[in-house]
């Protein structure tokens, strides 16, 4: 299809009059006075024989707040237009449900299908906080629709880094989940402005060790290409494209793991050719992810009986909070309070099985002894869901909160 005669500019929906209305609406949908009161009490609330600790940093980050504000503002600025969203604005079912209520329709984010061909110049397309691959942006531009880009500034920093790698002939090694929206968006930028760059996405320490062995010269090429199938750029040749590598990471990864990956790769390059210039690194974990992980480590210094982590199951930063917690104590990854079914039953997401499961913790919840429950939430979890969880815990313990 030819490019449209009119190229729509990016729209600034952040007008003061609009944002005033948006703030009021967002507050009604997502804020919680109870959570604010607990924060004012240094994150601790005790009622009867139950104490609840709230991490010092939890829930909505600045990037998520901005993305939600812009999505709400889009509907106000374009009350009559069709509004679409590439995938989900963030990884939280409640927030995405609210956007559907505003008649903001989700388009597929895995691939460009025929629904993109139906976009019209008066349509509005919202780009989520994770960003979108360049092919999606080009398609929306080609259709001439309005674009409201909510990509987080911290994600764009990663893009600048991998584009710089491509310009310098460096292959990007991206620590992330190959099928995560952000990593797909970042991978597309790692091809560089002229498309000549390369990337490889790795997720685990086992992936890293496999890659390190190849760098040291003892790997098998076909086994390498098979293992990482779907995780590298078109035309990627490990014999050619691992000469100079630069590491970047999805913004929401586990800090300790990312550092370990960087160290192992740096050592492998050093072992191979004693040329430090062939290895570049730039830590791209965002501040919000780091703060939530640090706050949880701090909270874990206090004895707790169990930990609840609230967030969408597909939320990467939330999953890493669960990983940190489950090393120390019984930890439950719940979408919302409704999953604490009863004193006997918690339905939660098992990261290892990649499925919901039900655990029986009757002894903890229904006993008469004093218990301490820890609570944190990922960067995409609104405070109203945290409040629901707090109230549910105390209600199941037979305590009435007078806050």
**Contact residues for ligand SF4, defined by CB under 6 A:** 61-64, 129, 152, 154-155, 251-252, 286, 288-289, 317, 379
Terminal-to-terminal C-alpha distance of the chain: 59
Which residue lies nearer to ligand SF4 by CB, 142 or 283? 283
Nearest approach, Cβ of residue 379 and ligand SF4 (Å)? 4
Could you count the other beta carbons within 10 Å of the beta carbon of residue 309?
30
Q: For the range 355-362, what are the long-range contacts, defined as Cβ-Cβ under 8 Å and sequence gap of 24 or more?
A: 356/313, 359/330, 359/332, 361/306, 361/330
Tokens representing 377? 């939430």
Which residue lies nearer to ligand SF4 by CB, 57 or 388? 57
Nearest approach, Cβ of residue 317 and ligand SF4 (Å)? 5
Nearest approach, Cβ of residue 85 and ligand SF4 (Å)? 15
The two counts, helices (H) then strands (E), for the chain are 16, 16
Would residue 182 show up in a list of annotated catalytic residues for this protein? yes
Which residue lies nearer to ligand SF4 by CB, 145 or 183? 183
Which residue lies nearer to ligand SF4 by CB, 68 or 83? 68
Which residue lies nearer to ligand SF4 by CB, 208 or 318? 318
Which residue lies nearer to ligand SF4 by CB, 74 or 251? 251
Which residue lies nearer to ligand SF4 by CB, 127 or 340? 127
Q: What is the CA radius of gyration of the chain?
A: 23
Contact 38, 383 (CB under 8 A): no
SS3 (DSSP) at 356: strand
Determine whether 41 is exposed, middle or buried from the number of CB atoms within 10 Å of its CB (0-12, 13-18, 19+): exposed
Nearest approach, Cβ of residue 277 and ligand SF4 (Å)? 29
Nearest approach, Cβ of residue 195 and ligand SF4 (Å)? 25
Tokens representing 140? 């929306």
**H or E segment to which residue 376 belongs:** strand 371-377
For 77-175, strand residue ranges (E) read: 83-86, 104-107, 124-127, 146-149, 171-175
- The closest residue (CB) to ligand SF4 is 63
Nearest approach, Cβ of residue 288 and ligand SF4 (Å)? 4
SS3 (DSSP) at 302: coil
Of how many residues is the chain composed?
403
State the Cα–Cα distance between residues 184 and 137, nearest whole angstrom: 13
Which residue in 182, 291, 328, 399 is the catalytic one? Answer: 182
Alpha-carbon dihedral angle through residues 78, 84, 89, 93, given to the nearest 10 degrees: 110
State the Cα–Cα distance between residues 34 and 400, nearest whole angstrom: 13
Nearest approach, Cβ of residue 171 and ligand SF4 (Å)? 23
Residues tagged active-site? 182
């Amino acid at each position: 299809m030819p490019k449209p005669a009119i190229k729509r500019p990016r729209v600034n929906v952040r007008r003061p009059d609009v944002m005033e209305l948006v703030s009021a609406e967002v507050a009604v949908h997502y804020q919680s006075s109870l959570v604010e009161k607990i924060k004012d009490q240094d994150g601790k609330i005790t009622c009867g024989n139950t104490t609840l600790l709230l991490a010092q940093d939890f829930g909505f980050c600045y990037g998520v707040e901005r993305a939600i504000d812009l999505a709400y503002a889009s509907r106000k600025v374009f009350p009559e237009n069709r509004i679409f969203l590439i995938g989900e604005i963030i990884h939280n079912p409640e927030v995405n449900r609210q956007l559907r209520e505003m008649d903001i329709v989700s388009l597929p984010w895995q691939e460009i299908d025929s629904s993109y061909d139906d976009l019209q110049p008066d349509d509005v397309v919202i780009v989520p906080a994770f960003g979108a691959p360049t092919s999606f942006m080009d398609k929306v531009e080609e259709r001439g629709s309005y674009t409201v880009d909510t990509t987080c500034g911290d994600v764009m920093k990663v893009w600048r880094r991998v584009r710089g790698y491509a310009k310098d002939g460096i292959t990007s090694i991206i620590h992330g989940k190959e099928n995560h929206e952000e990593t797909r968006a970042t991978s597309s930028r790692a091809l560089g402005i002229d498309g000549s760059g390369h990337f490889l996405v790795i997720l685990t320490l086992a992936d890293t060790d496999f890659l390190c062995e190849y760098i040291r010269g003892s790997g098998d090429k076909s086994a390498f290409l098979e293992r990482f199938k779907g995780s590298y750029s078109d035309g990627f040749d490990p014999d050619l494209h691992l000469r100079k590598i630069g590491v970047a990471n999805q913004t929401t990864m586990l800090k300790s793991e990312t550092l370990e990956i960087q160290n192992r790769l740096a050592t492998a390059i050093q072992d191979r050719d004693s040329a430090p210039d062939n290895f570049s690194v730039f830590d791209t974990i965002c501040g919000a992810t780091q703060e939530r992980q640090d706050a949880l480590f701090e909270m874990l210094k206090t004895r707790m009986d169990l930990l609840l982590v609230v967030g969408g199951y597909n939320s990467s930063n939330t999953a890493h909070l669960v990983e940190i917690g489950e090393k120390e104590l019984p930890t439950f990854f719940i979408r919302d309070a409704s999953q604490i079914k009863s004193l006997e039953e918690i339905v939660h997401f098992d990261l290892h099985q990649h499925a919901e499961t039900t655990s029986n913790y009757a002894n903890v919840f229904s006993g008469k002894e004093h218990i301490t429950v820890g609570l944190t939430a990922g960067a995409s979890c609104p405070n109203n869901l945290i409040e629901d969880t707090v109230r549910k815990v105390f209600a199941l313990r037979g305590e009435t909160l007078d806050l």
